[in-house]
Amino acid sequence: MEADVLARLVDALPEGVVVTGAAEMEKYREDFARDGSAGTPAAVVRAEDAAQVQVAVRWAAEHRVPVVPRGAGTGLSGGSSAVEGGITISLERMRAVEIDQACQVAIVEPGALNVDVKIAAAEHGLWYPPDPSSYEICSIGGNLATNAGGLCCVKYGVTTDYVLGMDVVLADGTLVRLGGKQIKDVAGLPLLKLFVGSEGTLGIITRAVLRLVPVQVAGATLVSAFPTMTAASRAVVAIRQRVRASMLELMDNTAINAVEDWRSHGLDRATGALLLAQSDATGAACEAEIEMIRECCEREGAAAVFTTTDPEEAELFVAARRNAFLALEQRGSVLFEDVGVPVPLLPALVDGVAGIAERCGVEIAVVAHAGDGNTHPLIVYDAADPGSDERARKAFHEVMALAIELGGTITGEHGVGRAKKPALPDQLGDDVMALTRRIKDALDPDGILNPGAIL
Amino acid sequence: MEADVLARLVDALPEGVVVTGAAEMEKYREDFARDGSAGTPAAVVRAEDAAQVQVAVRWAAEHRVPVVPRGAGTGLSGGSSAVEGGITISLERMRAVEIDQACQVAIVEPGALNVDVKIAAAEHGLWYPPDPSSYEICSIGGNLATNAGGLCCVKYGVTTDYVLGMDVVLADGTLVRLGGKQIKDVAGLPLLKLFVGSEGTLGIITRAVLRLVPVQVAGATLVSAFPTMTAASRAVVAIRQRVRASMLELMDNTAINAVEDWRSHGLDRATGALLLAQSDATGAACEAEIEMIRECCEREGAAAVFTTTDPEEAELFVAARRNAFLALEQRGSVLFEDVGVPVPLLPALVDGVAGIAERCGVEIAVVAHAGDGNTHPLIVYDAADPGSDERARKAFHEVMALAIELGGTITGEHGVGRAKKPALPDQLGDDVMALTRRIKDALDPDGILNPGAIL
C-alpha cells in the first residue's frame, strides 16, 4: 500500500484511532488459533464508534484493501487472523452495555465481553444464556460472528437464538439496522440471521440487541466418573432421551490430568471420563431429573456418582471443565477441534478420535458439550518438532473427516475461520459452496471483508 | 404462455401431477388472505417428491415462468397468491413425517400439517413446540416459509429455533441440502436460517429436519377478565417482568363476542378483555408462577381471576382464543393484521388500534400473542360495500404505520406476502430494502420465485 493511501485513513479518523507501529501490529496478527496464516496488517483501526468503522470500511472499499474485523482475539479458528497489508478493525474499544429492563434486552457494542453482558443483566434479575467456556475473555462481537455456543446451550440454545437486532456495516460502508427490541419479527428476508455466524465475511457488527430471560439457578449438579469415554458418551445419549438437563458436559482422562497438572481442582486422575450434569428444574422436579440422570449413569457403568446442591462445590467441577483449554495449552501447542455429530453418534465419534490419536501417534484430549453432540478434541503437539507438527495436522484433518463421515459438522460453535476452511467443501458439497459464494459476492463484490475466512 | 411450452412441462412429469383445468386453477388462486392480487395460474404442479419440484423449477427457469410455492393455502398475507400465467407448485402431496427418536428430530415433507408433526412426535414422548392457531390445518412448509409463531412461542420460541436441516430447490432447479441432524453447526454461512421466513422468494423447501424436545405439560391455566384491553395489556407487561409463562394470550370484547356468536365457549360477553396464561413449571414452582400472574392481574384491575389445573377445562379457553379468526370470518370479510411491538409498548399499541377503529369507522377485533408483543387486529368489513372496503383498507395501513411508529413490526409471524408489501419499506428503510434486493437477485436473478411477494 502506498504511504499516501494509508495517510488518508489516518487523517480521516481522530488521533490514536489508527495505529501502525510494528509492535502494535504484532499484537493484532493472530487469534488464539495461531493457525499460521496470519500476515502483518498495514494498520489497525481501533474504532470508538460505528461511524469510525464506516469511515474505515469506506476507505478500504475505495482502495480495495482487505478488512479483518476483530473482537477480543480469542477465536479458535483463525477467523480474525490479520491479512498481509490489509487493515484490522478492532472493536475492543466499543464496549458499552445498556440494559432495557422493561423490554428485557441488552443493547451492546461488539467489544463488550460476554461476561460484561451477563453481569449487567444480572443486576436487573436477568440472564444472557450463551456461555462459551471463554465467556470471561471473549467478546460479544466474536460470539455473534461465530454464533457461539457454550455449556448451557443444551437447554437454552446458542447465540443466534438470542439476537433480536443488529447494526451491521456492509462492505461499502453503509450501516444497516436490522430487527429491534420486538421479540417476533418476520418483516422481509431474515437478514438478521444471515449475519450471525458469518464470521465477518459479510459485514461488521457494530451493535446488537440481545434477548434476556429471567435468571435461572442450577438446582443440582451431578458428577459421574466412568471408566471410559465410550461409556460416558452412552450415558449422555441415554440421559438426553429422558431429561432436558441444563448442562451435560464431558472431559476425558487426558483433560482431567491436564487440569490437575495446571491447578488442582480435586479431580481423580485415574478417572477415565467425567460427566457433569445440571438440572435447573425446581424442587421435586429437580430431584427427579437428577435421579433419572443417576440411573442412566449407573446403567452405563458409572464408577462413582456424586451430587450436590451447593453452587460453590458445583462451580469447582464446572470450572475444571471450562479451564481444560487453558490447562492443555500448558502442555504444548494445541490444535482446537470443534466437531459435532447427531447425539446418538457421540460414542462412535469419541471412539473414532481415540483411534486417530493412536494411528497418528498424537495426544488428543477430549472435552465436550456432550448433550449437543459437540466435542472439542484438543490435539497437543510440539510446534518446534516438524514430525510432531505434521502428525498433529494429519490428525486434525482426520478428525474433521470422521465427523463428516458420521453425518456431522467440522465446527459446532467456533467457526470455520482459516483453520478449518480446507475441510468445508467436504462437508457442504459443491452446490452449497457455490451458493455460499453467490451470497458472498452479492454482499462483498470486491471481496474485501475478511478474505480467506470461510471461503 | 404458448401451448407447446406448457405441454413440455406436462410431458416431463407423471400423469396427474400437472393440472390445468379452470376449476382446479380456481382452487389454487388464493390463500386465506384473499388479498385481491391473485391471478390465474397456467398450471398447478402437485409434486410428489423433490425431484418433481426440480423438474418444474428447471422448466420454469428455462422459460422464465413465475413459480409460486404453496402449502395448505392457509397463509394470511397472500404469500401464495397465484401469479397470472405462472405455475403454482403445490406441496400438498408431499406429507411424509418420520420421527428419529434417538436423534429427537422429525424429518418432514413440506405438505405435512403442523398437527401431523405434533402427533407423530407425541407417539415418541416428544414435542414439536411451534403452534400457530391454525396448527390443525396449516402446513409445515408454510410454517417454514413464514417462520411461523404461535401460542407457546412466548416461552419456546418460533419455527426458526427448531430447524436443524432443510432441502431447498433453488431458482435454477438445484437442490441443496443444508444442516442435518446435528444440533449445533456453524460450518459456513448460516444459509439454513436465510431460507426460514423467506416466503418462497429464494427457494422451495422440500424437506426439513425439525428439532423435538421432551413433552411439556401445562401445569395450570389462569384466565383473567379485565374491563379494558389497556388494563389487560398492562398486566401482560407486568407478568413478563416476573414470570416466564408458557402461554400469555389476550382477546378483546369484540373477539369474545364473535367466538360466542359462532359457537358458545361459555365466555362472558360483557368482559372487556380476557387474558389467558399458562405455566408449565412443575409442583410448587407452578403454583408460585400462577400466584405471581394472579397478583399482576389483580394489581392491574382484573375483574375476575379463575385458575384450573384441569387440561380439558383449560383447552376450552385456549380453543376460544385459537378460533377467533374463524369466528370473525363469520361476520364478514377480514383483513388480518399481525403487528408487533416491544412488549412494554403493548398498551400503546392496543390503544392506538382502538383509536384507528374509531377514526376510520371500522370494527377491529384484537387477539394477541401478548407475551411476545405480537397482536392480531382483525378488521371486519363488507367487501361488497365500496365504502366499507375503503375504510377497512385505510385502517389496515394505519395499523401498520402505528406499529412502525412504535418501533415495532408490520408482521410478527404471518409474513409480508403481498398484502403487507406496501408498508415494508416504511419499516425497513431504503438501505435494508436494497440489501434485500441484492440477496434476491443473487439467488433468483430472473425473479421467477414467488414474484410479487415481499418485493
- Condensed to tens digits (0 to 9), the pLDDT of residues B416-428 reads 999 999 999 999 9
A149/A137 Cα distance (integer angstroms):
15
B380 has a pLDDT exceeding 90 = yes
A179/A163 Cα distance (integer angstroms):
9
Q: Which of residues 262-321 of A touch B (CB under 8 A)?
A: 281-285
| Residue B242 domain-assigned (yes or no) | yes
> Which residue segment(s) compose the domain that A112 sits in?
97-214
| Residue A237 domain-assigned (yes or no) | yes
Q: Which of residues 82-121 of A touch B (CB under 8 A)?
A: 101-105
Q: Which of residues 216-245 of B touch A (CB under 8 A)?
A: 237, 240-244
Q: Which of residues 361-390 of B touch A (CB under 8 A)?
A: 369, 372-374
* Cβ-nearest to B198 among A161, A190, A410: A190
pLDDT for the residue numbered B1? 78
B39/B42 Cα distance (integer angstroms):
10
The one-character DSSP state at A82 is: P
Give the cell for residue A38: 496470519
Cβ-Cβ contacts under 8 Å, A180 against chain B: 342, 407-409
The 3-state DSSP class for residue A209 equals strand
Q: Is the same domain home to B150 and B221?
A: no
Among the candidates A214, A236, A266, a domain finishes at A214
Q: Is the same domain home to A241 and A343?
A: yes
A146/A77 Cα distance (integer angstroms):
10
* Cβ-nearest to B183 among A147, A194, A373: A373
Whether residue B432 and residue A240 make contact (CB cut-off 8 A), yes or no, is no
User: What is the dihedral sign for C-alpha B61, B64, B70, B76?
Assistant: positive
Under a CB-based contact definition with an 8 Å cutoff, are residues B212 and B126 in contact? yes
Q: How far is A317 from chain B (nearest CA, A)?
A: 24
Under a CB-based contact definition with an 8 Å cutoff, are residues B160 and B197 in contact? yes
| Residue A343 domain-assigned (yes or no) | yes
Percent of chain B predicted with pLDDT > 70: 100
Q: Best residue in B99, B156, B186, B376 to probe A by mutation, most A CBs within 10 Å? A: B186
Mean pLDDT of B354-376: 98
Q: Is the same domain home to B133 and B35?
A: no
Under a CB-based contact definition with an 8 Å cutoff, are residues B53 and B71 in contact? no
Q: Give me the helices (H) in B20-149, please.
A: 22-27, 50-63, 114-122, 140-146
pLDDT for the residue numbered A216? 85
Torsion angles phi and psi, residue A144, rounded to 5: -70, -40
Chain A residue with CA closest to B339: the answer is A185
A442/A10 Cα distance (integer angstroms):
29
| Residue A174 domain-assigned (yes or no) | yes
* Cβ-nearest to B188 among A213, A369, A428: A428
Give the cell for residue A413: 460453535
Confirm or reject contact between B399 and chain A (CB < 8 A): no
A28/A8 Cα distance (integer angstroms):
21
Mean pLDDT of B305-316: 95
Q: Is the same domain home to A210 and A225?
A: no
User: What's the total number of domains in chain A?
Assistant: 3
| Residue B443 domain-assigned (yes or no) | no
**Other Cβ atoms within 10 Å of A19 Cβ, number:** 18
* Cβ-nearest to B180 among A285, A407, A439: A407
The 3-state DSSP class for residue B249 equals strand
Whether residue A146 and residue B237 make contact (CB cut-off 8 A), yes or no, is no
Identify the CATH number of the domain in which residue B282 sits: 3.30.70.2190
A347 has a pLDDT exceeding 90 = yes
Match 412448509 to its residue by C-alpha cell: B141
Mean pLDDT of A440-445: 98
The 3-state DSSP class for residue B2 equals coil
B320 confidence band (pLDDT: 50, 70, 90): very high
Q: Is the same domain home to A43 and A129?
A: no
Cβ-Cβ contacts under 8 Å, A244 against chain B: 213-214
B162/B177 Cα distance (integer angstroms):
17
Among the candidates A36, A59, A90, a domain finishes at A90
pLDDT for the residue numbered B218? 78
Q: Is the same domain home to B201 and B296?
A: no
Q: Which of residues 404-433 of B touch A (CB under 8 A)?
A: 407-416, 420, 424, 427-429, 431-433
Cβ-Cβ contacts under 8 Å, B285 against chain A: 281-283, 285
pLDDT for the residue numbered B426? 98
pLDDT for the residue numbered B152? 95
CA nearest neighbour of B118 among B110, B103, B128: B128
Q: Is the same domain home to A19 and A162?
A: no
Q: Best residue in A105, A107, A183 to probe B by mutation, most B CBs within 10 Å? A: A183
Mean pLDDT of B268-293: 96
Q: How far is A213 from chain B (nearest CA, A)?
A: 8
- Condensed to tens digits (0 to 9), the pLDDT of residues A6-55 reads 999 999 999 999 999 999 999 999 999 999 999 999 999 999 999 999 99
Cα R_g (chain A), whole angstroms:
22
A205 has a pLDDT exceeding 90 = yes
| Residue B344 domain-assigned (yes or no) | no
Mean pLDDT of B134-158: 97
Q: Is the same domain home to A173 and A30?
A: no
Whether residue B341 and residue A438 make contact (CB cut-off 8 A), yes or no, is no
| Residue A432 domain-assigned (yes or no) | no
Q: Is the same domain home to A286 and A246?
A: yes
pLDDT for the residue numbered B344? 98
Strand partners, A375: A368
Q: Is the same domain home to B174 and B83?
A: no
Amino acid found at A115: V
| Residue B229 domain-assigned (yes or no) | yes
Cβ-Cβ contacts under 8 Å, A427 against chain B: 187-188
Whether residue B190 and residue A201 make contact (CB cut-off 8 A), yes or no, is no
Among the candidates B63, B90, B117, a domain finishes at B90
Q: Is the same domain home to B120 and B27?
A: no
Q: Is the same domain home to B195 and B166?
A: yes
Confirm or reject contact between B178 and chain A (CB < 8 A): yes
B217 confidence band (pLDDT: 50, 70, 90): confident
* Burial class of B266 by CB neighbour count within 10 A (0 to 12, 13 to 18, 19+): exposed
Amino acid found at A35: D
Q: How far is B295 from chain A (nearest CA, A)?
A: 18
B34/B424 Cα distance (integer angstroms):
19
Identify the CATH number of the domain in which residue A101 sits: 3.30.465.10
Identify the CATH number of the domain in which residue B36 sits: 3.30.43.10
* H or E stretch covering B215: none
CB pairs under 8 A between A and B: 265
pLDDT for the residue numbered A47? 98
A239 confidence band (pLDDT: 50, 70, 90): very high
